C-alpha cells in the first residue's frame, strides 16, 4: 500500500504543478494583454478565446476527475505522460520568450507588431499549439491514465483549437506581407 500512496502523491503533485504552471503563464498573458491593448492592439476571435479557455480548464478538471474516480498507481505510462507534459511546458516557455511582449493566450495584434521569424516558427507552424498545447494535454491525460478525457476531451478541444489556427492564419496573412 505505501507504493500506491507514494505514487498518488507524485500524481497529485504533478497536477498541482501543472495547474500552478498554467496560472503563472496566464498571469504573463494577462500582463502582456493589458500592455498591448493600452497601446492600441486589437483582439480577434474573442469568443473562440473563451471557448479555448473553457476547453482547457474542462480538460484539466476531467482528467483529474477521471483519476479520482479510478486512481491508478504511478507507473511507466504515468512517467511518460509527465515527460511529454514537461516537453510541452518547456516549449511554451520557449515560445513565450521568443514572442516576448506579444505572447498572450488570446489572438492580439499590436500596432507595432513584429513578425517573429525565428527558425522554430519556420520549422513548425504554430509551435504554441503543436509543441505546447497538444503535448501538454496528451501528457496530462496519459500521466493520469485518463483515457476517456484524452479521447473525448481532445476531440472537443480540437474544435476551438482548429478555429483558432484558422483565425490566426487569416490575421497573420492580412497583417504581414512576408507571412
Q: What angle do CA 78, 83, 88 make, to 5 degrees?
A: 125
Domain over 2-175 is classified CATH 1.20.120.1630: yes
In the chain, helix, strand, coil percent, each to 5?
80, 5, 20
Regions in the chain scoring below 70 on pLDDT = 1-5
Kindly report the average pLDDT of the chain as a whole number: 95
Q: Which residue in the block uniquely carries the three cell numbers 495584434?
A: 109
- The ranges assigned to domains in the chain are 2-175
Q: What is the pLDDT of residues 90-112, one digit of tens each?
A: 999 999 999 999 999 999 999 99
Which residues have C-beta within 8 Å of that of residue 96, sequence separation ≥ 6? 25, 28, 103
What is the Cα–Cα distance from 141 to 177, expressed in whole angstroms?
39
Strands (E), the chain: 42-44, 107-109
Global confidence as pTM:
0.93
Amino acid at each position: 500500500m505505501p507504493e500506491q500512496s507514494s505514487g498518488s502523491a507524485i500524481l497529485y503533485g504533478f497536477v498541482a504543478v501543472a495547474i500552478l504552471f498554467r496560472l503563472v503563464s496566464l498571469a504573463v498573458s494577462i500582463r502582456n494583454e493589458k500592455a498591448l491593448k493600452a497601446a492600441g492592439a486589437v483582439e480577434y476571435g474573442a469568443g473562440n478565446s473563451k471557448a479555448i479557455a473553457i476547453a482547457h480548464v474542462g480538460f484539466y478538471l476531467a482528467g483529474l476527475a477521471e483519476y479520482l474516480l479510478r486512481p491508478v498507481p504511478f507507473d511507466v505510462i504515468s512517467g511518460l505522460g509527465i515527460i511529454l507534459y514537461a516537453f510541452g511546458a518547456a516549449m511554451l516557455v520557449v515560445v513565450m520568450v521568443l514572442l516576448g511582449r506579444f505572447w498572450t493566450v488570446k489572438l492580439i495584434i499590436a500596432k507595432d507588431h513584429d513578425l517573429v521569424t525565428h527558425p522554430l516558427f519556420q520549422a513548425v507552424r504554430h509551435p504554441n499549439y503543436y509543441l505546447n498545447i497538444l503535448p501538454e494535454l496528451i501528457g496530462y491525460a496519459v500521466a493520469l491514465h485518463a483515457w476517456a478525457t484524452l479521447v473525448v476531451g481532445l476531440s472537443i478541444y480540437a474544435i476551438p483549437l482548429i478555429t483558432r489556427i484558422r483565425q490566426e492564419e487569416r490575421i497573420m496573412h492580412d497583417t504581414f506581407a512576408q507571412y
